Amino acid sequence: MQVKKIAALLPASIVLSAAMLFSACRPVEERPPELIYYAETMERFFFPEDSTEAEAETDTVTETETEAPPETETETETEIETEIITSTVTEVPEEYSETGTEEPDVISAEVYQEIYPTTEAVSETAAETYTEVYTETETVPAETEPPQLYQASFTADSSYVKPLGRTFMKDGVRILSHTCSGVEFAFRGNYADITLTSNCKTSKARAAIYVNGKMVKDTMLNNSEETFHIFDSDEAENCIVSVVKLSEAAYSNIGVKSINVNSEFGIIPTPERTRKIEFIGDSITCGYGVDAADQYEAFATTNENGEKTYAAITGKYFNAEYNVVSWSGIGVYSSYTEGSKPNQSFLMPSVYEKTAANERTEKWNFSQWQPDLIVINLGTNDNTWTKGIQERVDLFGSAYYDFIKQVRAVNPDAYIICSLGVMGSKLLPEIKEQVEAYSRDTGDNRITTFEFDYRDGKADGFGAGFHPSAKTHQKMADKLIPFISEIMGW
């Protein structure tokens, strides 16, 4: 249908309003499906535009437009406006044609809805004429055609995806460094593939891809660039896709280069969840060797899996966004060492302030992601140096106190849990002492300590290098979850 043929039927004031509305319209494929969102449950849902929420929104608009008409409008005018929305023109009197000889095409109700004037008053004369024209025509419901699918490629920019954890853009590619970092997006369509890149170091990066909560890919990135086909369907379906880095920051990075879909509306970021938890830790929090057959299997990124850790299990239980900052072997005052001197080549206080310590030196912008809760699980590696020597323990305690202050300074509203224990709790008394001292000195009572049970390798097995197994991580989460529920009221 052409705008000029419609214009021939209408007074100048209505034509003006129609032109304004047409100029504001966008093609169907550019309209985002704004009703994609997370329900506050353990499961993910995707609501299309014909949901009850969309109907409620339409009802609200209609009610607003019809209440309290201006004094200049008559009852007849109100009836006319209703008829314009619901009727279809099959015949038009000659006086409404520009030439009086050309019969215009049939105009559907959908077009009249688009050009419905909301600001211009209709004159009394026009009202009488419209009454004559429209009250005699039969109402025909508007036909709606389903949106068409189209192919498009998107970058992992935050306008299209939701970043998970600390990530950054480099040369148009979103870099995933930390454990469980990734991207997430939603679309409605019948096909999707994703192109990932890697810096391909000796220890390759491991990634998982989920569609609607189901893992469709668990892969090692052996090449500098690979494309993965992740979704194919005969009909358009609602999809939420997550790309998650399973291996840790100490080894290779992953880049999300492009997301290619055949969809109705392109892709959009999934909304932020209500709760946010940050986990700060070492190899335990990284999921070091959790997929290994036993304690004697050598560690490799192929048996490291952040999604099987107590951190991921806990975050998912609370339906929270969870951010992991962890590094195998790291400590607060001394990282893992077998020598008599502290290993201070890399420490969590310096790693924590950076976006990605293995790639960039720039500081992380803490204001862009503020957690409700922070769980610190550090001290296991410090103990390889302190070894119960009080002078060394005191040095660790002082460094831990300073680290609490550092974390609090950039997370002013978060509750902090300082934990230890699954691979030994010898430094937990010192941690408790420093937490109590910090609370006394600052008046900050939104901080506490927590002890994990020591791992039971005989009953639950071990991961690589005697690290916690998947069963042990589940037990860690089972103990931590009710503790969090109590202090957070979740």
pLDDT tens-place string over residues 380-436: 999 999 999 999 999 999 999 999 999 999 999 999 999 999 999 999 999 999 999
- Mean pLDDT of the 7-27 span: 33
Residue ranges per domain, the chain? 3-29+48-134, 150-269, 276-488
pTM over 0.75: no
Which percentage of the chain shows pLDDT scores above 70? Answer: 70
Q: Please give the Cα distance from 231 to 372 (Å, whole number).
A: 34
Tokens of 353: 């302030």
What is the 8-class DSSP label of residue 400? H
> What class has domain 150-269?
mainly beta
% helix / strand / coil in the chain, to the nearest 5? 35, 25, 45
Burial class (CB in 10 A: 0-12, 13-18, 19+), 141: exposed
- Pick the range with the lowest mean pLDDT from 112-116, 206-210, 350-354, 437-441: 112-116
Per-residue confidence (pLDDT) for residue 142, from 0 to 100: 54
Per-residue confidence (pLDDT) for residue 129, from 0 to 100: 38
- Mean pLDDT of the 306-331 span: 97
373 has pLDDT over 80: yes
pLDDT digits (tens, 9 = 90+) for 86-133: 333 334 344 333 333 343 333 333 333 333 333 333 334 333 433 343
Nearest to 305 by CA among 318, 320, 321, 324: 324
Per-residue confidence (pLDDT) for residue 358, from 0 to 100: 78
DSSP for 208-219 reads EEEETTEEEEEE
Q: Please give the Cα distance from 371 to 417 (Å, whole number).
A: 12
Q: Please give the Cα distance from 308 to 285 (Å, whole number).
A: 10
Averaged pLDDT score across all residues of the chain: 79
Q: CATH topology of 150-269 equal to that of 276-488?
A: no
Q: pLDDT band at residue 30, thresholds of 50, 70 and 90?
A: very low
Per-residue confidence (pLDDT) for residue 202, from 0 to 100: 80
pLDDT digits (tens, 9 = 90+) for 245-299: 999 999 999 999 999 999 998 999 999 999 999 999 999 999 999 999 999 999 9
| Residues 131/135/136/139 CA torsion (nearest 10 deg) | 140
Per-residue confidence (pLDDT) for residue 145, from 0 to 100: 72
What is the second-level CATH architecture of the domain 276-488? 3-Layer(aba) Sandwich (3.40)
| Residues 254 and 175 sit within 8 Å (Cβ to Cβ) | yes
Helix (H) or strand (E) holding 450: strand 447-451
pLDDT digits (tens, 9 = 90+) for 130-168: 334 334 444 545 556 777 999 999 999 999 999 999 999
Per-residue confidence (pLDDT) for residue 353, from 0 to 100: 95
pLDDT digits (tens, 9 = 90+) for 166-225: 999 999 999 999 999 999 999 999 999 999 999 877 889 999 999 999 999 999 999 999
| Residues 208 and 301 sit within 8 Å (Cβ to Cβ) | no
Per-residue confidence (pLDDT) for residue 360, from 0 to 100: 66
Q: Please give the Cα distance from 270 to 267 (Å, whole number).
A: 9
Q: Please give the Cα distance from 282 to 324 (Å, whole number).
A: 10
Beta partners for 192?
A: 231, 261
Instruction: Name residue 305's amino acid.
Output: N
- Pick the range with the lowest mean pLDDT from 79-83, 190-194, 441-445: 79-83
443 has pLDDT over 70: yes
Residues 6+ apart with CB under 8 A from 178: 165, 166, 245, 248, 249, 323, 324, 325, 326, 356
| Residues 267 and 261 sit within 8 Å (Cβ to Cβ) | yes
Residues 6+ apart with CB under 8 A from 46: 36, 186, 188, 212, 238, 239, 240
SS3 assignment, position 279: strand
SS3 assignment, position 137: coil
Alpha helix positions (H), 178-334:
283-286, 310-317
| Residues 185 and 258 sit within 8 Å (Cβ to Cβ) | no
Tokens of 150: 């189209």
Per-residue confidence (pLDDT) for residue 113, from 0 to 100: 38
Q: Please give the Cα distance from 78 to 324 (Å, whole number).
A: 59
The alpha carbon of 304 is separated from its chain's Cα centroid by a whole number of angstroms, namely 24
Residue 393 half-sphere exposure, CB side, CA atoms within 13 Å? 14
Query: What is the residue whose two structure tokens read 């490799």?
Result: 300
Beta partners for 245?
A: 207
Helix (H) or strand (E) holding 81: helix 75-86
Q: Please give the Cα distance from 33 to 46 (Å, whole number).
A: 10
What is the 8-class DSSP label of residue 251? S
The alpha carbon of 174 is separated from its chain's Cα centroid by a whole number of angstroms, namely 14
